[in-house]
Structure 1
Amino acid sequence: MLYSAAEQAYREVKELILSGGLPGGELISEGEIAGRMGLSRTPVREAFLRLEAEGWMRLYPKRGALVVPVADGEAEHVVDARQLVETHSVRVLADQPHARQLLVARLRENLAEQREIAARGDVAAFSAADADFHRMIVEAGENPLLATFYSSIRERQRRMTTHSITRDPGQLPRIIADHEQLTELVEAGDAAGFDAAVLVHMRQVHALNPRGVAR
């Protein structure tokens, strides 16, 4: 698919933000990105304005663009939202053995992909596969409103996961092991077990204190 120069710049810069190529707190310039991508400044400026409107950047005239860091408390909010939505889907599937079987087959295909990506150490690709794993669970609940809501936080999830794995690459096998456990709980239709396990999984990945533990 061919994109306009502005769309290309938008997609590439956003991917750099999500994948950690442009970390939060970094100040960048239109000229720097234009040179990096082989584009003129005009489409890069348009991309920056769009990214600012979405909350990924903060523009400072004559100084550049600041990549907005993950806000205080954002990880907590994303985890809480994901737990509610994902567990709801597993509850819906509890009395639908055929739908569970189809979902489990897709999750296991995704797990194979995660293992292959982890073996080559591609953190950006792994964070995308991780987000897809959880998205499949949400979409299997067949609630389009919840699926759309989940899509709206998928990018935040990706950025958080990339940051967590970059900080501690040893998390890769632990995340995969957690996903294997979650798949087994989906297969069993154990919504209560899934609810508890997915919360522990997400809080460990993102280095959040267990519930009830003072910070």
Structure 2
Amino acid sequence: MTIVMKSSPVPVESETSVEAAPLSLAEQAYRQVKALIFDFSLMPGDRFSESDLTGRVLVSRTPLRQALQRLEREGFLQVFPKLGWQVAPLDFDAFDELYDLRVLLECHAVAKLCEAEDRPQLAALAAVWLQPDIERTEDPTAVRDLDEGFHRGLVEGSANRAMLRVHGEITDRIRIIRRLDFTKPARVEATYDEHARILRAITRRRSDEAQRLLRAHIEQSKLEVRHITLDMLYKARQKD
């Protein structure tokens, strides 16, 4: 199926620091195409050519191709010689494997945090998640970023750089579905409550309890995002 582009160009993510170096054209194209994939403007399984992206990704052919090749290496796209590109179909079995590995890494990190004498990460995490309901943010994008920060913070507490690197790679691979967990107000509320219980257990050095709560939290999130993803895909297909 060839993609017919209908909407306006995707904006490049803004740089928050005035000292940040300008993005290369290939990086701009990479971010724009990735946004199209994450927003399901390019649907899983859909095929397209580089010319189909004209008007949506405002760079020349060379940086666009570099961006597409990078997304292929990361597993978001597939390429077929002389036939063009395809958005990689969602493989929930592969996502399950990534979630399993994520649980192992984070539970190990929690065990380390419960044993550590110096735990500066806990104060920073508590400042975000152990606060009155009225001070909680309800913005899905903000909660998504805070949630990634929570789980990254747990792994940082292990002081294992290799674990942190692998955890970051897993986070990037599952972000396409995981970000949808915060599109429902009930899930935002549940995330705050579950993170708070995990943090309290870690603070009290109750390793087994903290790991049990963490496993349940991640498993519930996985189930929710699968349901939401399938529902969104169905509705998007209905519009075709």
SS of the aligned residue for 1:98 comes to: coil
Aligned to 1:153: 170
Taking only the aligned residue pairs, the percentage that are identical comes to 29
Higher relative contact order (CA 8 A, sep 6+): 1
Establish whether residue 176 from structure 1 lines up as the match of residue 172 from structure 2: no
Contact 1:75/1:160, CA 8 A, preserved across alignment: no
CA distance in 1, matches of 2:201, 2:38: 29
Q: What are structure 2's unaligned runs of at least 5 residues?
A: 1-20, 225-240
Deviations 1:78-127 (A, max 9, x none): 2221121111112112232431xx22221134437x932xx2343xx433
TM-score w.r.t. length of structure 1? 0.80
- Residue by residue, what CA displacement relative to the aligned partner does 1:150-207 show, whole Å, maximum 9, x if unpaired? 11211123223124445x5532211222111111122122221121111111111111
Q: Distance in 1 between the 2:99 and 2:115 partners?
A: 26
Are 2:77 and 2:85, in contact at CA under 8 Å, matched by a contact in 1?
Answer: yes
Secondary structure of the 2:168 match is helix
Choose which of 189, 208, 219 in structure 2 pairs with 1:203. Answer: 219
What is the TM-score of this pair, normalised by structure 2?
Answer: 0.72
Q: How many residues align?
A: 200
More helix by share: 1
Q: 2:37 aligns with which of 17, 21, 25?
A: 17
Q: Which of 1 and 2 has greater Rg?
A: 2
Q: Work out the CA distance in 2 between the residues paired with 1:170 and 1:72.
A: 23
Q: 2:123 matched to 1:105? A: yes
Describe how 1:53-202 pairs up with structure 2 within 5 A: 53-61=73-81, 63-99=83-119, 102-111=120-129, 115-116=136-137, 119-122=138-141, 125-166=142-183, 168=184, 170-202=186-218
Q: What value does the CA root-mean-square deviation take over the aligned residues?
A: 2.6
Matches of 2:30 and 2:52, distance apart in 1: 14
Moved more, 62-71 or 139-148: 62-71
Counterpart of 1:59 in 2: which secondary structure?
Answer: strand
Is 1:8 the counterpart of 2:25? The answer is no
Aligned-pair distance for 1:141? 0.6
Q: Which runs of 5+ in 1 are unaligned?
A: 209-215
